[in-house]
Amino acid sequence: MKFWGKFLILKTKITACDYQWIIEEIIKNLNKKIIVAPVASHPVTLAYFKKDYQKVLDSIDYVLPDSQWVRWSLDWLYKIKLPDRIYGSNLFLKLCQNAEKRNIKVALIGNNLEKLKQKLKNLFPNLKISLLIELENKVIDEKLTKKINKKIKKLKKTIIFIGIGSPKQHQLALKLDVNSPIICVGAAFDFISGTKKQAPKWMGDLGLEWFFRLTNEPNLWKRYLIYGPLFLFFLIILKLRWRKI
């Protein structure tokens, strides 16, 4: 179990830790609102251009390196050699496993939740899923946020998972009024429920998950073909500036 600290990547502070450390941190704070968000390079780059979104990421307690590219950037800039990235899908499953063992409830906010619930019940038969909030791909406006808050306000000792992608899940997490940890896990619900194809582990390990997702979800072209290269470009500029100091 290890925590290295928080380090600036572009304009976002990334929490450098391993799975065990962040899991214990979440479980220690079952009666407190903390927000945990594994992120790839896209949200970090998007926030670099959009000040309002940067404020959202700055308000998150633990922004974690979800992609290998963010993980590698910690090594390149700060010599922080993490044993692994904190991948949203893996964090979700590890937390569900811990919740089952420790008799902790979980709540799910996202889409296709019945499929996900069945899959989780197969994997973790004794997991207590206390609440499902199906969004059906609706726009997350003020009215819907109030409805969600009404449903979750009585939750206690519950880990809340949001799986609706970035930046929507981060913006929603900040607006939730609850004394429970909130974990933003992106496409994890879709991958685990089988709604979307997940990249093979070897592609994820080599930093090629973006290519797999692009071929299966071409509508994400802007995320991977524009924001991905921009992330690398700004990293190089940052590194060159540091060398001049």
- Kind and range of the H or E element at 38? strand 35-39
| 3-12, 136-145, 178-187, 218-227: least confidently modelled range | 136-145
Query: Tens digits of per-residue pLDDT, 38-62?
Result: 999 999 999 999 999 999 999 999 9
- The stretch 87-106 carries a mean pLDDT of 97
Q: What was the pLDDT predicted at 240? A: 85
Work out the percent of the chain whose per-residue pLDDT is above 70. 99
Are 17 and 63 within 8 A, CB to CB?
Answer: no
Query: Tens digits of per-residue pLDDT, 121-141?
Result: 999 999 999 999 999 877 889
Q: What's the pLDDT band for 23 if we cut at 50, 70, 90?
A: very high
Full 3-state SS string of 102-124: HCCEEEEEECCHHHHHHHHHHHC
Are 85 and 68 within 8 A, CB to CB?
Answer: yes
Residue 29 pLDDT exceeds 90: yes
Query: Rounded to whole angstroms, how far apart are CA atoms 143 and 47?
Result: 26
Residue 208 pLDDT exceeds 70: yes
Query: Rounded to whole angstroms, how far apart are CA atoms 129 and 154?
Result: 14
Q: When comparing pLDDT for 5 and 245, which is higher?
A: 5
Backbone Cα Rg of the chain: 18
C-alpha separations of 144 from 39, 166, 238 in Å: 25, 18, 40
Strand stretches in 46-93, DSSP E: 62-65
| 23-32, 140-149, 180-189: least confidently modelled range | 140-149
Q: What was the pLDDT predicted at 222? A: 94
Query: Tens digits of per-residue pLDDT, 154-204?
Result: 898 999 999 998 999 999 999 999 999 999 999 999 999 999 999 999 999
Q: What was the pLDDT predicted at 195? A: 92
How is the chain split into domains, by residue range? Answer: 3-241
Query: Tens digits of per-residue pLDDT, 99-118?
Result: 999 999 999 999 989 999 99
Q: What's the pLDDT band for 145 if we cut at 50, 70, 90?
A: very high
Q: What was the pLDDT predicted at 244? A: 59
CA 205 to mean position of chain CA atoms: 17
Q: What was the pLDDT predicted at 239? A: 85
